[in-house]
């Protein structure tokens, strides 16, 4: 298990660097949607692997975890860039990043609670499906925020 956790961590480091580069290349909203789709793909792949039977070679599991690590940690630079673009001057940066970190840790806490509830009521095979559902909600909320932001900018 420790090697797989290491794989996720190393993929996360790469994801953070790739996230910054992608933000520079395509902008924060597009980069964020790319990474959210990657985060969604990881538990969906876990569900597919679980439903289709197993066991699977550890390399297959590691590849899914690499996707998860890359995408999850690629979100951070994209989110921070998007927030900073909307800040009210340079003085707002500290508050925006602090608020983002607080929201992130609230999400971690809620994820543990929701995951525990799903595990207790439905068992381990249901956890990836519940995770995919939560990510899908996030994707829809971010899409709504981007769409609203775009309309606001067009109107002036």
Angle between helical axes of 127-155 and 28-51 (0-180°, round to 10): 160
pLDDT, tens only, 80-128 = 999 888 877 777 888 999 999 999 999 999 999 999 999 999 998 899 9
For the domain 2-155, what is the CATH code?
1.20.1250.20
The helix (run of H) or strand (run of E) holding residue 53 is: none
The whole-number pLDDT of residue 51 equals 65
Q: What percent of the chain has pLDDT over 70?
A: 93
**pTM score over 0.75:** yes
**Residue-level length of the chain:** 156
Segment 47-52 shows an average pLDDT of 77
Contacts of residue 29, Cβ cutoff 8 Å, sequence gap at least 6 = 82, 146, 149
DSSP category for residue 91 = G
Segment 7-27 shows an average pLDDT of 96
- Its sign, for the CA torsion 109, 115, 119, 120, is positive
The domain segmentation of the chain, as residue ranges, is 2-155
The candidate with the shortest Cα–Cα distance to 6, out of 47, 46, 58, is: 58
Helices within the chain (DSSP H only): 2-26, 28-51, 58-86, 93-122, 127-155
The whole-number pLDDT of residue 33 equals 92
């Amino acid at each position: 298990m420790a090697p797989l956790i290491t794989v996720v961590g190393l993929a996360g480091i790469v994801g953070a660097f790739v996230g910054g580069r992608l933000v520079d290349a395509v902008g924060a909203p597009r980069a964020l949607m790319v990474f959210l789709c990657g985060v969604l793909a990881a538990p969906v792949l876990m569900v597919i692997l679980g439903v289709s039977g197993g066991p699977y070679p550890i390399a297959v599991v590691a590849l899914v975890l690499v996707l998860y690590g890359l995408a999850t940690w690629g979100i951070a630079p994209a989110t921070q860039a998007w927030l900073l673009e909307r800040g009210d001057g340079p003085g707002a940066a500290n508050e925006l990043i602090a608020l983002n970190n607080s929201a992130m840790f609230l999400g971690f806490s809620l994820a543990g609670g929701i995951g525990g509830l799903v595990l207790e009521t439905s068992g381990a095979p249901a956890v990836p499906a519940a995770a995919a559902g939560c990510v899908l909600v996030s994707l829809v909320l971010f899409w709504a925020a981007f769409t609203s932001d775009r309309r606001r900018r067009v109107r002036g």
